[in-house]
Structure 1
Amino acid sequence: MSRAQQQQPPPPPRPEERSSPDELEDEKEEEVVQIRLGDRSFPVCKRKLLEQSAYFRALYRSGMREAAEPEVQQLRGGLSAAGLELVLDFINTSCLRRLERQEGGEPPLLDELVEAASYLQVTPLLRRLRSQVRLDNCLELRQLAQIYGLQELEEACLHFMGGHFHQVLRRPEARPHLLLPSALRLQLKERRMKGAAALVALGNFIGAPSAPGRPPLEDLPCAMLRYDEGARRWLVLPSDLPADLANVRGYGSAVLDNYLFIVGGYRITSQEISAAHCYNPCLNEWSQMASMNQKRSNFKLLAVGGKLYAIGGQSLSNVECYNPEHDWWNFVASLPSPLAEFSACECKGKIYVMGGYTTRDRNLNILQYCPTLDSWTNFELCDIHIRKQQMLSVEETIYIVGGCIHELGSNQKPGQNEDMLTVQSYNTATREWLYLKENTSKSGLNLTCTLHNDGIYILSRDLTLSTSLEHRVFLKYNIFSDSWESLRHFPTFGQNILVCSMYLPNII
């Protein structure tokens, strides 16, 4: 016996649900039609039935034998009584109150409902379903929309799932029969990248203009800005950042599936932390994720193969991997030894670590981590010592930005190049180093940068100001022409600034 055939007649309405005297009088004046399915009969207002069901409108106008008895309509076919009852309840009440999942009760009968609504062509109900998409029904609704050719409902489901991608991945209800196919995963990721990429800056800003209707930035513990490339100016990105991100330093940051993750770090007044926060630009909201197993600061957070890797930290060699599908962290293969002031990036699906210091000496090994093998190898020995660089990659080329370079065997002092902003490249296929054009801006230390469109955008601290606040010089290095472009000065003072590239929806 099917689920629909097992449905029992609905209980009589509670007193508070019964119609008022005026409503009862109106109902007497309305012509009521009995819709019969099998041995069950359902009363429905004929006027509402004709208004909302294209099936019955066509039936009554057809002059067919089925319309000869307008007071009773017999339905034949494979419709379930439960689905028909839900549809007629909507026609009578214009609401979907019985579609909500009751706590501890059975899930709503979406398949029976969509089948009956599609068969009877109740367009208002099918249109209403587009606003009823939620985490607990989005996958099933999309499947039903595909079965019955409901393109607008399918689009609403895809839009919702794209905006809540990681939450959809980790839904326990999605297993095992509603696991996301790989093609659908790719489609949802692509939807998250719709529109143009935008530069986003996060930090404790002072002196920048505030967005209309929002408090001044100096009244906010932390704020976000976005860069308008056409007007060449920074604008406030209205977003309510978590208060516990204020004054967190030494954190790791990475963009995965167009989510910005801020993980770990330390507060000036307390010890290291393991908390993880995530910004979703599709919804313009922050949420807290599972914390790392290890408290860590001054580490590297990288997105590789749909996961996050937290590498090392202050006196740490262990590495953790975050899986958004399960919202948990687990330890993977550790670094060969703890490193300080090292640099790292993802390149062609692998992680590369350069420079820094071991507990005894300078690290001259380029380390490579393979996620599929969960192992570290010494990729190559480096003839220069680098530290505090920012590393980015395009295809097989790694770009090393800023930091301190010490050429081994030379007479240069280790600090001689610290005030020069340089960009180098290292090709992981040919293992060739290129020393690219320098910039006279100071300093190469304590900068933040990101890949964006055709270049590396850099916020570099201007050391000539006698202030504890970080006034930034805004630069662009074009990776194709090996040239620098000085953009407008960053319009504000601030601390602990991060710049990244994300896809922002047009509504923001």
Structure 2
Amino acid sequence: MSEDRVQERGAVTVETDTTLHAATSDLVTPAVLKDGKLGANCIHDFLQDDGEFNPPPVVEKEYLLDGRSIDNNHVDKNKNNGSYTSPSTETSAHIETALPNHFTSMHQNCTASESHNGARVKVSYHADSSMHNSGQTVQETDCSNPTLKDSGQEAEKSLSQKEEPDLVIEVGGQTINAHKSVLAEKSDYFKARLSRNILKVKGVSYKTMSTLIDYVYTAQMNVSKDNVVDVITGAKILQIPCAVQAAMDRMSEQITAENCYEILTIAKKQRLSELKETAYGFMSDNFLKILKDPSVYGRLTGSERDLVLKKRMEGKQVLMVAEVNDVFDRVGSRPPSRCGSRPQSPLSVGSLEDNHMIYCYNETVNDWTALTSMPDDLNTKGCGICTMYNYLFVAGGIKGNGEKGKASDKVFCYNPITNRWAEVRPLIQARAQLKLVSMDGYLYAIGGECLFTVEKYDPRMDRWTTVAPLPKGAFAVAHEATTCSGELYVSGGSLFYRLLKYDTKRDEWQECPYNNSRKKSSDMVALKSFIYRFDVNREQGINVFKYNTIVKMWHDCASQKIGSLLPFRCAVIGNCIYCVNKSQTLQFVVEEENAYFMEEMLKAPVEARGVLFPFVLTLPEKTEKVT
């Protein structure tokens, strides 16, 4: 017996010359099917008895459920005709002719089952032509997305029912076939024209129309700065508001500091208010980066600059605290149980055990939640902290412990809108136990341990410059610092309390009246035209003094003997001064004719460690998007 085996497209063709002997026991009687053809299994078993026979390997290939190879998976769009249809009878007939017979049955079974938007199945086939499902159906479209489910509901219904397109759209000399029900679900323009079978659209190009119809069918918006004007304009003409929002969202992902002004210029020329707001929003969210770029910030008008900064400050003011190490405390490690739940900041690398946290207060649940962790390179011991332009700035501090500790010149800022830390221009002089305050768009780094020098940071120029130093012999370390009515105040002193004011116009420090207290204040904050000083002692409790910056006089304000007598630090929201430490959070309310501590004390951030430094940032309020 001679055999020639030819393997082609997963099938084996066998050519044999056989002599059948009726009397022999090895007579092979092939099974005959009803149509008179040999059974494939019989031939396969026959070949297996041959020792020289090696069955061909299993061929695995992905096919669409309509029988087409996954390599050819694409929407059938002719050059002048875009059509969103299921495979036609003619296409199916072509596939059946082109594929072997054993694929034809598979194709018929697959096309009989429901499939939407490129559902596909893996098919394995052997030389015996038997088909095996080697995998579960994979849905290319993510139907877990609620927006995608809603936008594709009618499209899925039309395709599952194998409806032929019932609308021909003529645009730009070309045609697009689509389903009325699908377009009408998202577009009032098409909904108002359901009676038409042929619709001629003006004012929209073929390319733009294709992009928008693709979005309606797939919920995927293909937009860039090159076509965003046409897409948004077309979406407005066709009355598809969700497409406008989708284009804005997509552009928000593509806007950078380098192209934001270009996009803003396009939006203003084309009078696209949504795109203009998106550009302003990016500038607001990344204000410091834009402020340093003269090619962007330098070309904005005064009203535009005010608008960008105003947008950045919109939202709800939230009380926050930063964990810092006391200068005289030894830095310890955190309990292991707390490390797993602490979020990692973008600049933080390595273990979280030594990272310090920032917590924000949630009024709804009366509790504190972790917002972010500070970068590893940030030195919290003896650092200065303040806020400006809704950024948190942390400067200086002490690197290392004990005799090996050295003052740091590093400066970091945290953006609560993007939840990002960044390192900015370092100080001219390394400082520890400094006071950091902001006033009129500048940062002031005041003094430090045995330092009288003062530096001013201009964020637009991104540089530090020296200003008038503190008077020599004033105090070795400044106790507190604050700003009030555009003036900078610093307190300190060892033998008695002193208050100094910095005159920005004259670039000099002036002596202010001091009160009778010789105690080191717990904190000093400004509210309206008054400076409030809080003193804590075991015998008298908490005493509050206020300084009128206009008439330059001190007055007794209030006292409190209830609660913890541990030192605290203060932050102001509205007319309330929050006094925060690890055991309690007091609320000191200032009214026109009265000031008092509220009886109700807020919960303290019990998980926090070290000294707590309170401050206030504005967090954006979440808004629902149009879908």
TM-aligned CA distance change 1:127 to 1:474, over 3 Å = closer
Q: Do structure 1's residue 348 and structure 2's residue 482 form an aligned pair?
A: no
* 1:90–1:125 CA contact under 8 A, matched in 2: no
Q: Which residue of 2 aligns with 1:410?
A: none
Q: Which residue of 2 aligns with 1:27?
A: 78
Q: CA deviation at 1:86?
A: 9.3
TM-aligned CA distance change 1:394 to 1:327, over 3 Å = same
* 2:320–2:361 CA contact under 8 A, matched in 1: yes
Counterpart among 234, 237, 262 of residue 140 in structure 1: 262
* Structure 1: tracts of 5 or more residues without a match: 1-19, 37-42, 62-66, 100-107, 404-415, 461-470
Q: TM-score under structure 2 normalisation?
A: 0.57
3-state SS of the aligned residue for 2:559?
coil
Counterpart among 457, 471, 482 of residue 595 in structure 2: 482
Aligned residue identity for 1:267 = K
* 2:407–2:431 CA contact under 8 A, matched in 1: yes
CA deviation map 1:452-477 (0-9, x unaligned)? 232211124xxxxxxxxxx4332222
CA distance in 2, matches of 1:85, 1:46: 9
TM-aligned CA distance change 1:88 to 1:327, over 3 Å = farther
Q: CA deviation at 1:202?
A: 1.6
TM-aligned CA distance change 1:212 to 1:492, over 3 Å = closer
CA distance in 2, matches of 1:196, 1:92: 39
Q: Which residue of 1 aligns with 2:609?
A: 494
CA distance in 2, matches of 1:493, 1:213: 13
Higher relative contact order by CA 8 Å / sep ≥ 6: 1 or 2?
Answer: 1
Q: Which residue of 2 aligns with 1:10?
A: none
Aligned residue identity for 1:236 = T
Larger radius of gyration: 2
3-state SS of the aligned residue for 1:244?
coil
* 1:200–1:225 CA contact under 8 A, matched in 2: yes
Counterpart among 534, 537, 546 of residue 425 in structure 1: 546
Counterpart among 191, 208, 233 of residue 311 in structure 2: 191
Q: Which residue of 2 aligns with 1:13?
A: none
CA distance in 1, matches of 2:576, 2:390: 19
Q: Do structure 1's residue 317 and structure 2's residue 449 form an aligned pair?
A: no
3-state SS of the aligned residue for 2:461?
coil
TM-aligned CA distance change 1:31 to 1:506, over 3 Å = closer
* 1:356–1:386 CA contact under 8 A, matched in 2: no
CA distance in 2, matches of 1:146, 1:86: 23
CA distance in 2, matches of 1:319, 1:418: 37
The 5 A counterparts of 1:91-490 are 114=229, 118=233, 129-131=247-249, 132-133=251-252, 134-135=255-256, 136-174=258-296, 176-177=298-299, 179=300, 181-203=301-323, 214=342, 219=353, 221-232=355-366, 234-245=367-378, 248-269=380-401, 270-337=405-472, 339-342=475-478, 343-357=480-494, 362=495, 366-371=499-504, 373=505, 375-382=507-514, 384=516, 385=518, 387-402=520-535, 420-440=541-561, 446-460=567-581, 471-480=582-591, 481-485=594-598, 487-488=601-602, 490=604
CA distance in 2, matches of 1:382, 1:254: 25
* 2:571–2:578 CA contact under 8 A, matched in 1: yes
CA deviation map 1:232-279 (0-9, x unaligned)? 3x222342431233x621111111111111111113423111111112
* Structure 2: tracts of 5 or more residues without a match: 1-70, 84-168, 325-332, 345-350
TM-aligned CA distance change 1:155 to 1:331, over 3 Å = same
Q: CA deviation at 1:140?
A: 3.1
Aligned-residue CA RMSD in angstroms?
A: 4.6
Aligned residue identity for 2:455 = E
TM-aligned CA distance change 1:130 to 1:230, over 3 Å = closer
TM-aligned CA distance change 1:231 to 1:87, over 3 Å = closer
TM-aligned CA distance change 1:208 to 1:149, over 3 Å = farther
* 1:333–1:374 CA contact under 8 A, matched in 2: no
Q: TM-score under structure 1 normalisation?
A: 0.68
Q: CA deviation at 1:419?
A: 7.6
3-state SS of the aligned residue for 2:393?
strand
TM-aligned CA distance change 1:86 to 1:268, over 3 Å = farther
Q: Which residue of 2 aligns with 1:15?
A: none
